[in-house]
Amino acid sequence: MPGHSRLRAVFLTTLLGAVLGACSHKQEAPRGSAAPPPPPFASSNAEEESSDAQDPCRLLDPKEVEAVLGEPLAVPPFRVGSGGMGPHASGSDCMYETKNFRYLTLTATFEGGQQEYSLTQMVKGQLKGGRGNEEMAKTVHNRFQLDDGTELSGEWDEASLTAMNCCIFNALRGDQLLVIDFTGTRLSLRQVAPLLDAAFKRMDKPLPLNGNAAVGAALALDKTRPQPRDVCSLLTRTEVEAIVGPLGADPAGHGHDSCTYAMPRTPGTVPLEYDVKVRWRNGYYQWRSDRHVSNLAYGSVGQIAHDVVPGLPAQEESEHQSNAATSAAAADPAESVSDDGMNYVLVKQDVEISVNSRFVDRARAQALVVAVAAKI
């Protein structure tokens, strides 16, 4: 799963000098082309009560989560290591995952939540004190209003989104902290917030569930993912040249991570290369996170331009955003597609495939990444 721990998120935020707006508690968010079927839901006894009173998987009814996701879970809720680092008995987080490897995680701090929550608020004081990038701060605050302009209400005393993240929602009640990370789903903050309400109500009387019982089934599900392969082996040179034209050299591989296809070099010109990169797991999570951060950056640039040139209208949606595909399911073989002006990216079965789209033929770049995806 993604390396997105709250401490790392806060650290990155401090470097970027931006913070996300807090949500008031008054009314107002990781494999082969033909994978075998995932293990059945009933393959583990999730209803066996855990002896751990602080098992985070005891706070939500799986049916509640399925209703929000709009599809069944592939396996019962299971515990994972901190930051979602794979199925792990007695892990600190609970994961809810579908057969398509869409997932959300719930983290529960039964005591000491105030101290942890304060980490997500570190940068606010800097911005209030006049330090930091005010233009970026303005953009960030604008981005996280709900569609109808209202604020969220819930069981919490205070709540906020983790800075520089679209989809990590922190809710504090007394000294108890709940964090739900829905980056690995298509869900919105409005959709997932009620799950935290339900979880808070069960903090003192958790459900008779056992997050450790499904770890084995989760490990079996994980084996159905597309397995990492040498990226240069996904397409033959003949297949690549049929798309981009004759190459100037043999493909240069970098193991499971990337493959570079260099075009013939003309003296006095910049060498042209198609650099295909593959992220074999957590591809959707990374895709959604990257798009959010990129949109913030483009939005900030647009706001700065508006401030410098008063007659220039402020853009609610940057050109970058309007050119990017939405997160709606794209045509086969891709599930999600975007083009940020620098890279053409698509996701298939939680595998993210990208190719640079600058200084090369954009149509050929898109055709190349689609051809690679067809081999996943």
What pLDDT, in 10s, does the model give residues 254-276? 999 999 999 998 888 888 999 99
Same-domain pairing of 102 and 156: yes
Same-domain pairing of 237 and 106: no
| Residue 166 CB-half CA count within 13 A | 19
Give a yes or no: residue 297 inside a domain. no
Same-domain pairing of 211 and 236: no
CA 180, CA 104: separation in Å to the nearest integer? 7
In sequence order, what are the residues at sequence separation of 6 or more whose Cβ sits closer than 8 angstroms to the Cβ of residue 223?
31
pLDDT band at 252 (very low <50, low <70, confident <90, very high): very high
Give me the phi and psi of 94, to 5 degrees please.
Answer: -120, 135
Give a yes or no: residue 39 inside a domain. yes
Same-domain pairing of 130 and 168: yes
Domain range enclosing 192: 6-222
Give a yes or no: residue 291 inside a domain. no
Same-domain pairing of 199 and 242: no
The SS3 call for residue 63 is: helix
Same-domain pairing of 131 and 203: yes
Question: pTM of this prediction?
Answer: 0.75
Give a yes or no: residue 147 inside a domain. yes
Structure tokens at 84: 């979602």
pLDDT of residue 30: 37
Q: Among 200, 222, 244, which residue terminates a domain?
A: 222
Cα separations in angstroms, 200 against 33, 47, 176, 196, 286? 41, 20, 9, 6, 28
Give a yes or no: residue 355 inside a domain. yes
* Contact between residue 24 and residue 152 where contact means Cβ atoms under 8 Å apart: yes
The SS3 call for residue 340 is: coil
Classify strands 336-339 and 273-279 as parallel, antiparallel or unpaired: unpaired
pLDDT band at 164 (very low <50, low <70, confident <90, very high): confident
Spell out a b/e string for 289-323, using b for 16 or more CB atoms within 10 Å of the CB, else e: bbbbebbbbbbbbbbbeeeeeeeeeebeebebbee
Mean pLDDT of the chain: 77
Give a yes or no: residue 47 inside a domain. yes
Same-domain pairing of 165 and 38: yes
pLDDT tens column, 63-82: 999 999 999 999 999 999 87
Same-domain pairing of 218 and 362: no
pLDDT of residue 105: 97
Number of separate domains in the chain: 2
Same-domain pairing of 67 and 214: yes
- β-sheet bridge partners, residue 278: 353
pLDDT band at 41 (very low <50, low <70, confident <90, very high): very low
Same-domain pairing of 263 and 156: no
Structure tokens at 334: 């891709």
